[in-house]
Amino acid sequence: MNISIKKGKNQTVIDYLLLTILTTFPIAINISFFSPKDFVHPLISVNLSISDFLLLIALIIWLLKILIYKELRQIKLPIPPILVFVGIATLSIVNASSISDSIKELIKIVEYFIVFYILLINNLKNTKLNSIKNLLFITTTIILLIAFVQYSILKGSPYLIRGLFDNRNILGAYLCMTIPLVFAELLYEKNLYRKIWFLLMLFTSATIILSSSALLALVICLFIVSTFHSKSAIFKYAIGIVFLTLIYYYVLPQKNRNSLKEFGSIYEEGNVSENYYKTLTVLYDLKKTIYFNKMIGKNKLVVSNFLLTSSIMPQIRKGDAYADMNGERHLKNRYLEMRAALNMIANNGLLGAGLGNFQNQINVNYVGLPKINTEEPDQHNGYLLIGATTGIMGLTALFWTFFSTLRNIYKKFKNLNNSNKKLYLGLLGAIIAIMIENFFTSIFISILLVPFITLLYLSTKNSPDEVVF
Amino acid sequence: MHTVKKILDLFIEISFFLILLIFSFSYLQISLKQHLIFIPLLLFISIKLFSKINLAKIEFWIIFLAVVMMFVFDFSEKVDFIQKFNISIEENKRVPLSTIVLSFALLSFLIKIQIDGKFMISNHPFAIYFIMSGIFLSLLLSIFFPILMVKYQLGIESYLHLLNKILKYSCILLLTTNYLNNDDKIKRLNIGIIASLGFIIITTLLRII
């Protein structure tokens, strides 16, 4: 009797820890070490999320519980596509030039795709799906409130309107995961107060979202959700879109309209900044690659660009020598990164350039001016990032994960009665929105993997796809 | 007609073994890290070879062998016979030997389809999504292609290279899934893979010693 109480208590602790992860995942601590000569570029920069610590504690308690109560045979494994994806990601390390970068990335993938997912499917048995969903709504409300305050107060860069995340694009990607659930809930909701809550969430997110790709993803996926619901839902959606268009052009400030204009930036040409040439000159003149490598940090400088620079422009010595290139128009970095990713897939084929080795390998695949501005984030297109680092095989596993999840959700949506349909309708919209958003913002960052894996868990709960050994 | 089909099947089988033979010569291109995959792969295929299960009934195993053949083909394309045997062919006229062998296998397969009037496409999720990712990449290439060519006059060689690879992988997937329809054929291919992998591992070991 005593044992069963203790077991129950252990289970409760694990469940509460997992639910806490769902609410605290955006809170991260950044630990950086700077060189005294350079306070801008850290030598080492590590983002530690609170959810990492909680996940570790939950894992230890769960493993102890499994060992003490001999439940090894009852462990459920993740769905096959996730196992294949992690397997291929591990195999891709053989092509990696930087094993440490690969292992760092692999730890992240295993932590979320395997550990977090296994903890979710093997625990939370007494927690209702609705409770998890409501918890996500509460977290989203808090994030939206913070973002709204930032939107109202901060007048500077639109990147600062980011809720609890690093930038507006990550906030947009997060909203793509939760807003379809809110919309589906609203379509079925009868309680007036909850309706008001959901409407306010939708209105706030439409206002504060300054990532145009996320807005596009939401507009498309909410239309699909309305189509699956009813004709009246399509009508309501159409009214909502007209209303949104009007407030975008007549009520909301210029920054909202600017974010829409920026959407075409991947194909846009731009002037090369003067700083670019100055940095290039300094780098060229120094010719001390190792010195710079240590001082600025490996991730902040692509060293072999020197070779590229010296081979392409051997005559150039001083900043003035670049004068004839000033004002010249060039393709923007994002487009060139996409092209470099395609080159990387072409060169490495099946297993890619190695997990986490995108920035390491980009210099040899980059066409155009030498890439020195590594402040520019990683590849934005999640599909190309996975394709470039884990090859066509990794991309296959990613498609398999997305589409098998969509198929599972659709099956459940078709077979369930009205009261349970809303969750699956919302999940259907969320996965579609993520698939669209992944073209513009990679979802494979720690902070977004918690809600993403939670969505996968919600869609596969009690699914026949789960493997039991 | 039955004899013709048998001959065509034989052509495809010989092509597979020729690709495996060319693959054996790629020992110089394979890094020690890549051997970390080859050794477990060799053990895994050897275990399956001696098991009494009818492998033709396991769709996963056929897809697995198709993926292994893609890897084999990838490495076999890197073998440079022109340098090895000092043959004088202009650089822009060089075609990998394994590509020529694959094109013969594909030709035999196409004739077989004409005779049979049908061919099989595997409905295993991995095969389906592999084709899908190939189509996805081809679509991306076709979107960027006009922009690169017309607006920026940038080179497109690597794009064509990727398209070429996607096509070859898809052909190998189609050929392997259609060819491996009975247990004997699977076992013969397993023996071929084990032999070439074993040769590469032994050669590398000898080189190290």
pLDDT digits (tens, 9 = 90+) for A409-430: 999 888 877 667 888 999 999 9
* pTM, rounded to two decimals: 0.85
A78-84 average pLDDT score: 91
B179: confidence class by pLDDT, cuts 50, 70, 90 = confident
Instruction: Provide, as residue numbers in chain A, all residues whose Cβ is less than 8 Å from the Cβ of B152.
Output: 331
Top mean-pLDDT range of A333-347, B43-57, B186-200: B186-200
Are B140 and A81 within 8 A, CB to CB?
no
The answer to whether the CB of A182 falls within 8 A of the CB of A140 is yes
Instruction: Provide, as residue numbers in chain A, all residues whose Cβ is less than 8 Å from the Cβ of B165.
Output: 346, 349
Beta-carbon contacts of A55 under 8 Å, excluding residues fewer than 6 positions away, are: A17, A21, A111, A115, A116, A119
pLDDT at A274 over 60: no
User: Dihedral of CA A288/A294/A297/A302: which sign?
Assistant: positive
A348-372 average pLDDT score: 73
CA distance A415 to chain B (A): 22
Rg (CA), chain B: 19
- Other Cβ atoms less than 10 A from the Cβ of A386: the count is 31
Question: What pLDDT is attached to residue B187?
Answer: 87
Q: How far apart are CA A465 and CA B100, in angstroms?
A: 42
- Other Cβ atoms less than 10 A from the Cβ of A246: the count is 11
Q: Residue A79: what are its φ and ψ, rounded to 5°?
A: -65, 150
A138-144 average pLDDT score: 94
Question: What pLDDT is attached to residue A307?
Answer: 36
Instruction: Provide, as residue numbers in chain B, all residues whose Cβ is less than 8 Å from the Cβ of A95.
Output: 33
Instruction: Provide, as residue numbers in chain A, all residues whose Cβ is less than 8 Å from the Cβ of B125.
Output: 80-81, 400, 404
B5: confidence class by pLDDT, cuts 50, 70, 90 = confident
A185: confidence class by pLDDT, cuts 50, 70, 90 = very high
Chain A: residue nearest B36 by CA?
Answer: A94
The amino acid that residue A203 corresponds to is F
Residue A32: which H helix or E strand, with range? strand A28-33
- pLDDT single digits (tens) B72-85: 998 888 877 766 66
A242-261 average pLDDT score: 86
- pLDDT single digits (tens) B98-113: 888 999 999 999 998 8
pLDDT at A240 over 50: yes
Beta-carbon contacts of B193 under 8 Å, excluding residues fewer than 6 positions away, are: B20, B45, B65, B68, B72
Quick one: which of A222, A57, A206, A115 has its CA closest to A450? A115
Are A345 and B134 within 8 A, CB to CB?
no
The answer to whether the CB of A266 falls within 8 A of the CB of A338 is yes
Q: How far apart are CA A428 and CA A218, in angstroms?
A: 12
A161-179 average pLDDT score: 89
A198: confidence class by pLDDT, cuts 50, 70, 90 = very high
Q: How far apart are CA A367 and CA A342, in angstroms?
A: 11
User: Both tokens of residue A120?
Assistant: 């979710």
Q: How far apart are CA B208 and CA B187, in angstroms?
A: 31
pLDDT at A358 over 70: yes
A271-298 average pLDDT score: 46
User: Both tokens of residue A399?
Assistant: 């498609």
Interface of B with A (CB under 8 A): 31, 33-34, 36-37, 67, 70-71, 74, 125-126, 129-130, 132-134, 136-137, 140-141, 144, 147-148, 152, 154-155, 158-159, 161-162, 165-166, 169
Quick one: which of A388, A364, A365 has its CA closest to A442? A388
Q: Which residues pair with A77 in a beta bridge?
A: A467
Question: What pLDDT is attached to residue A394?
Answer: 94
Neighbour-count burial of A11, counting CB atoms closer than 10 A to its CB (0-12 exposed, 13-18 middle, 19+ buried): middle
Measured between alpha carbons, how far is residue B127 from residues A387, A397, B134 in Å?
17, 10, 11
Measured between alpha carbons, how far is residue B81 from residues B10, B85, B88 in Å?
25, 6, 11
Among A334, A342, A366, pick the best mutation site for testing chain B contact (most B Cβ within 10 A).
A342
Which of A39-43, A79-83, A230-234, B61-65 shows the lowest per-residue confidence on average (mean pLDDT)? Answer: A39-43
Name the residue facing B147 among A267, A342, A347 (closest C-beta): A267
- pLDDT single digits (tens) A12-51: 889 899 999 988 888 877 676 666 665 555 666 666 778 8
Rounded to a whole number, what is the distance in angstroms from the first to the last CA of chain B? 53
Report the mean per-residue pLDDT for chain A: 78
Residue A31: which H helix or E strand, with range? strand A28-33
Q: Residue A30: what are its φ and ψ, rounded to 5°?
A: -100, 120
- pLDDT single digits (tens) B191-204: 999 999 999 888 88
- Other Cβ atoms less than 10 A from the Cβ of A102: the count is 24
pLDDT at A451 over 90: yes
B49-66 average pLDDT score: 80
Question: What pLDDT is attached to residue A346?
Answer: 86
Q: How far is CA B68 from the centre of its chain?
A: 7
Question: What pLDDT is attached to residue A297?
Answer: 33
Question: What pLDDT is attached to residue A468?
Answer: 38
Q: How far apart are CA A11 and CA A62, in angstroms?
A: 8
Name the residue facing A346 among B33, B34, B165 (closest C-beta): B165
A92: confidence class by pLDDT, cuts 50, 70, 90 = very high
Beta-carbon contacts of A380 under 8 Å, excluding residues fewer than 6 positions away, are: A169, A266, A334, A337, A338, A440, A441, A442
The amino acid that residue A157 corresponds to is S
Question: What pLDDT is attached to residue A143?
Answer: 94
pLDDT at B134 over 70: yes
- Other Cβ atoms less than 10 A from the Cβ of B137: the count is 23
Quick one: which of B62, B34, B38 has its CA closest to B48? B62
Measured between alpha carbons, how far is residue B140 from residues A17, A342, B35, B126 in Å?
42, 9, 33, 21
Instruction: Provide, as residue numbers in chain B, all residues whose Cβ is less than 8 Å from the Cβ of A81.
Output: 125
Question: What pLDDT is attached to residue A7?
Answer: 63
A210: confidence class by pLDDT, cuts 50, 70, 90 = confident
B62-90 average pLDDT score: 81
Q: How far apart are CA B182 and CA A161, in angstroms?
A: 61
Interface ipTM:
0.89
Residue with tokens 């009520």: A251
